[in-house]
Structure 1
């Protein structure tokens, strides 16, 4: 039951973000400054996407690029290193991160929004093609 509640909490958060952007009439990342996700909640949402959603989502089946993506949520003090290989689910790597082909960095809120394909101020560097298999619904 705990994993279902976790999943639903992030679904509701993303739906709220969508609604706030619709009310603002803008998809700009600065359009809803009053909605900022708590660093712990946002970091949990990043982890939920990487460990629970992506392995079952089909987007990775279409990937054509191999590489390593590092996601860094500065205010949460958390970093995820994910290996992307065509035809395989993205794989969370433990340790490392120094040889990333692509990096997504920012506040946990910004990285959370970016991996869930919502407007974000996260900074992306490197090969953007590696992000497609990591994009949430």
Structure 2
């Protein structure tokens, strides 16, 4: 994914490029191949002008396409770092609070605002998400309908259920890597999240 994103930015692609055949580095080359891929995307994004135009795939607020890709690759890396550390039987590295809040925002107002999202309900429902250690602005109201979810970053109106916890734990839980730290209200909404929120 890093090499694909780097090429997209470097080429100023205005439409989604194909992924192509996945690379197959040898086992003993995998770590160095990944490090090279990571360095390539970091260097490409650092060199990109702020006003560069290229394709992006969801409407989460970002000041520019390069900022979109920097954010997306950072969160891609963080979630898969957790996967890799868990697979090795290690205690996964914690996710920093402010970074986690940004990732929750991207997930709720970006990924789940897209037509591809399966996070829907035939009956209108309202879900609250709250990072309890990140201040009053770290709260989202998610309105579920038969169409894409509509999310605002505010405690807006009454919610039927709330998913909450420290930002770092909540971030991983919303990406379905760990259990949701705390569920209050209608537990059916938490189940709906687990069943339909996969990206």
* 2:187 is the counterpart of 1:122: no
Report if the CA contact (8 A) 1:42-1:109 is conserved: yes
Q: TM-score, normalised by structure 2?
A: 0.57
Gaps of 5+ in 2: 1-65
Q: Which residue of 2 aligns with 1:20?
A: 85
Q: Does 1:85 align with 2:149?
A: no
Q: How high is the TM-score relative to the length of structure 1?
A: 0.81
CA deviation vs aligned residue, 1:15-43 (integer Å, no higher than 9, x gap): 0011111111xxxxxx72x5111110000
- 1:4 aligned to 53, 69, 72, which one? 69
Report the CA distance between 1:120 and its aligned residue.
3.5
Q: Matched residues in 1 for 2:142 and 2:161: separation?
A: 10
Distance change >3 Å, CA 41–CA 136, structure 1 → 2: farther
Contact 2:96 2:168 in 1 (8 A): yes
Deviations along 1:37-65, one digit per CA (max 9) or x if unpaired, are: 1110000000010111112233135x444
**1:35 to 2:93 alignment:** yes
Larger Rg belongs to: 2
Residues 40-119 of structure 1 mapped to structure 2, 5 A cutoff: 40-56=98-114, 57-60=116-119, 63-77=121-135, 78-86=138-146, 88-93=147-152, 95-97=154-156, 99-119=158-178
* Counterpart-to-counterpart distance in 1, 2:197 and 2:119: 9
Contact 1:72 1:80 in 2 (8 A): yes
Separation of aligned partners in 1, 2:140 and 2:81: 25
Residue 76 of structure 1 aligns to a residue whose secondary structure is: coil
**Between Structure 1 and Structure 2, which shows a larger proportion of strand residues?**
1
Question: Can you give the 5+ residue segments of structure 1 that lack an aligned partner in the other structure?
Answer: 25-30
Aligned length: 128
